[in-house]
């Protein structure tokens, strides 16, 4: 049915969004002014431009310069980078909510800033990010259907092909309903996994409430 393409796209874009988003959040919070400002502008741009425009930019843009990008890669990049901007905001909020005393105590022990961030600040901030992050997960999962706009044959595109044929008119609603169900199941499964992670990582005094 093409749902597998959506799942692959989801995994690719969320991983890209996580890595880039985390780096951007760290830059925004800890890097010197000019760099931090760059990260802010990055976030502002990617959150401000409609996703469809981003998809077209990443798919048709390189073509102008003679570089052919597959629809899948373009979708991962466009949706992944867009998600990184949102994820950066989630991580930034969590990083900034860790009391300054945690950093002071780590530095007083003789840890470098990098050690303090990786052993003290991040383990706490990531736990606090989980609730907001599960929200972003549900959101990007549904975004994968947008990739049909640049011709990626995923589940929405398949559904479109079926329903376009006039003879299939009676199938129009059932097909859409089926697609909706697929996404509902995926959302449920993903959130259940995140919930499990939350439970396993729970630490008294660092609870995250949804």
Positions touching another protein (CB under 8 A) are: 99, 101-102, 104-112, 115, 119-120, 123-124, 127, 203-206
CA 162 distance to own-chain centroid: 30
Question: Residue 127 contacts by C-beta under 8 Å, 6 or more apart in sequence?
Answer: 201, 202, 203, 206, 208
| Cβ-based nearer residue to another protein, 119 or 142 | 119
How many helices (DSSP H) and strands (DSSP E) are in the chain? Answer: 9, 0
| Cβ-based nearer residue to another protein, 63 or 207 | 207
CB of 127 to another protein, least distance (A): 7
| Cβ-based nearer residue to another protein, 108 or 193 | 108
**Whole-angstrom Cα distance, residue 9 to residue 15?**
10
CB of 69 to another protein, least distance (A): 41
| Cβ-based nearer residue to another protein, 118 or 168 | 118
CB of 191 to another protein, least distance (A): 23
Question: Nearest 5°: CA angle at 89, between 50 and 104?
Answer: 165
CB of 199 to another protein, least distance (A): 15
**Whole-angstrom Cα distance, residue 56 to residue 149?**
8
């Amino acid at each position: 049915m093409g749902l597998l393409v959506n799942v692959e796209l989801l995994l690719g874009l969320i991983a890209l969004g996580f890595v880039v988003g985390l780096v951007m959040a760290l830059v925004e919070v800890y890097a010197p002014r000019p760099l931090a400002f760059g990260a802010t502008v990055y976030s502002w741009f990617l959150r401000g431009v409609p996703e469809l425009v981003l998809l077209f930019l990443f798919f048709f843009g390189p073509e102008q310069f003679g570089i052919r990008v597959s629809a899948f890669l373009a979708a991962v990049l466009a949706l992944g980078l867009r998600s990184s901007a949102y994820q950066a905001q989630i991580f930034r909020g969590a990083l900034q909510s860790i009391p300054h005393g945690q950093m002071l105590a780590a530095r007083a022990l003789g840890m470098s800033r990098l050690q303090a961030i990786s052993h003290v600040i991040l383990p706490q901030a990531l736990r606090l990010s989980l609730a907001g992050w599960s929200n972003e997960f549900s959101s990007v999962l549904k975004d994968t259907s947008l990739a049909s706009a640049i011709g990626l044959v995923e589940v929405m595109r398949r559904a479109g092909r079926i329903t376009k044929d006039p003879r299939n008119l009676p199938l129009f609603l059932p097909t859409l309903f089926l697609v909706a169900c697929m996404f509902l199941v995926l959302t449920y499964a993903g959130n259940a996994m995140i919930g499990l992670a939350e439970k396993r990582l729970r630490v008294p005094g660092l609870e995250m409430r949804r």
